[in-house]
Amino acid sequence: MTEPALSDASGASTTVFVLNGPNLNMLGLREPEIYGSDTLDDIAGMLEDRAQELGLEVDVRQSNHEGHLVDWLHEAHASGVKAVLLNAGAYTHTSVAIHDAIKSITVPVIEVHLSNPYKREEFRHKSLVGMAAKGSVAGFGANSYVVALEAAARL
């Protein structure tokens, strides 16, 4: 059973899901010249601190499996969260399933990337996630997540 999202005094949800796709568990070790030296735990800590300042709660998750990301998007809708920050990793460019899951829910999804995909290999220039998301934040390293959280707070 899906638990309802936390809400403020007005009844508005204060929970933001932060969903991370394949290989993001390797942050801090994987290609630091592209992705930086922050680990996913470091990013989660930054988000928790900023969320508290914004009156929000974050639920940070990571999976290397596409179906988990789809299930979590559906869960976000069912539990009524405020927003989803989604770094789908390589699935950004390949997953029709994640694109369709975003399109099937009413919760706003903000695409997040540590690097700027448009400055990288050509196959990274097309984002199926971005085609369905409310907006995108990319190229600011770990701060991309914080900028996306601040945008979610204003939705």
Q: What is the pLDDT of residues 83-102, one digit of tens each?
A: 999 999 999 999 999 999 99
Is the predicted pLDDT of residue 13 greater than 90, yes or no?
Answer: no
Catalytic site includes residue 118: no
pLDDT grade for 12, boundaries at 50, 70 and 90: low
Q: What pLDDT does 3 receive?
A: 60
- Token digits of residue 129: 């996630």
Q: What pLDDT does 122 receive?
A: 77
State the Rg of the chain over Cα: 14
Question: What mean pLDDT is predicted for residues 73-77?
Answer: 98
Question: What mean pLDDT is predicted for residues 67-93?
Answer: 97
DSSP 29: T
Per cent of the chain over pLDDT 70 is 85
Question: What mean pLDDT is predicted for residues 123-149?
Answer: 91
Nearest-angstrom CA–CA distance, 128 and 131: 5
Q: What pLDDT does 52 receive?
A: 97
Candidates 65, 68, 99, 113; catalytic one: 113
Q: How many residues does the chain have?
A: 155
Q: What dotted CATH number matches 15-153?
A: 3.40.50.9100
Nearest-angstrom CA–CA distance, 98 and 57: 24
- What mean pLDDT, rounded, does the chain reach? 90
Per cent of the chain over pLDDT 90 is 74
Catalytic site includes residue 91: no
Nearest-angstrom CA–CA distance, 121 and 48: 32
The torsion of the CA quartet 107, 143, 137, 49, rounded to 10 degrees, works out to: 10
The residue that leads in pLDDT, 2 or 70, is: 70
DSSP 89: G
pLDDT grade for 29, boundaries at 50, 70 and 90: confident
Nearest-angstrom CA–CA distance, 122 and 92: 13
pLDDT grade for 6, boundaries at 50, 70 and 90: low
Candidates 35, 91, 99, 145; catalytic one: 35
User: Phi and psi dihedrals of 61, rounded to 5?
Assistant: -135, 155
Nearest-angstrom CA–CA distance, 136 and 13: 21
